[in-house]
Amino acid sequence: MDLKKLRKKMRKVQDEPRYEHTLSVAYTAANLAAVHGGSVDKALRAGMLHDCAKCLPDNEKLELSKKYHLKVSDVERRNPSLLHAELGAYLAKDLYEETDKDVLNAISSHTTGRPDMSLLEKIIFVADYIEPGRTKAANLRQIRKLAYEDIDRAVIRILQDTLEYLTKTKSDIHPGTQRTLEHYLKQERRNDGSERNCKTGH
Ligand code: DGI
Ligand code: FE
Ligand code: FE
């Protein structure tokens, strides 16, 4: 589906603030793709679609999860909003004609991230957090800069701050969020190690 049509569709299924956020994520993702050498076109489509299931009422989220045979964990049953990412990927395919696997994965992983994300998945995960309409999160100035310099470190900072926020507000932690952080911290430690080895010639 072309971008113009996608915009029209999203304007219908999202409330106004959500639609504004969607446009901002799409344009932020496009910029990140340009900087990091990804596909600007896919970044725009994934950005436009990432929250396509967000505005469904909780009971419809649960109903649709049944229809698509999604495994709904206890954390997700208590917080059905968490389902909008995975559900969004199914709706993108069935309602909005999205066939690109990478775009669908980026929609599916945008809330918790996942280990071994593709560049596009990281771009959508990060764009969702840093788009200009976001103002409440801690360290936004720093993370916005980092997003263009070192996207993996931006992913780590976002996950750390999200987990800290969830802990402070006594919210359920989705195991996926924790798992993603552990993966990227491990990867960072490996990279730091190999850089040191390089410098000392070992
Ligand atoms: O859909 P958006 O609001 O644009 O952004 P999102 O898809 O990243 O969802 C944001 C919400 O998801 C935010 O309120 C924090 C929440 N979230 C992320 N990881 C977890 C989580 N909520 C719970 N309960 N557990 C998590 O691990
Ligand atoms: Fe979302
Ligand atoms: Fe979003």
Write the pLDDT tens digit of every residue in 158-199: 999 999 999 999 999 999 999 999 999 999 999 988 877 766
List ligand 1's pocket residues with C-beta within 6 A. 21, 51, 54, 79, 82, 85, 110-112, 128, 162, 166, 171-174, 177
Query: Ligand 1 centre and the CA of 149: distance in Å?
Result: 24
- Atom 11 in ligand 1: residue holding the nearest Cα: 111
- Atom 8 in ligand 1: residue holding the nearest Cα: 111
Q: How far apart (Å, rounded) are the C-alpha atoms in residues 77 and 101?
A: 26
**pLDDT at residue number 193:** 83
Chain segment 123-140, per-residue pLDDT in tens: 999 999 999 999 999 999
- pTM above 0.85? yes
State which of 19, 109, 111, 123 you would mutate to test the pocket of ligand 1, scoring each by most atoms of that ligand within 8 A of its C-beta.
111
Query: Ligand 3 centre and the CA of 37: distance in Å?
Result: 22
Confirm if 148 and 35 have CB atoms less than 8 A apart: yes
Q: Which residues surround ligand 2, an ion (CB under 5 A)?
A: 51
Q: 3-state DSSP call for residue 99? A: coil
Please give the number of the atom of ligand 1 that sits closest to the Cα of 79: 24
- Atom 9 in ligand 1: residue holding the nearest Cα: 111
Chain segment 58-109, per-residue pLDDT in tens: 999 999 999 999 999 999 999 999 999 999 999 999 999 999 999 999 999 9
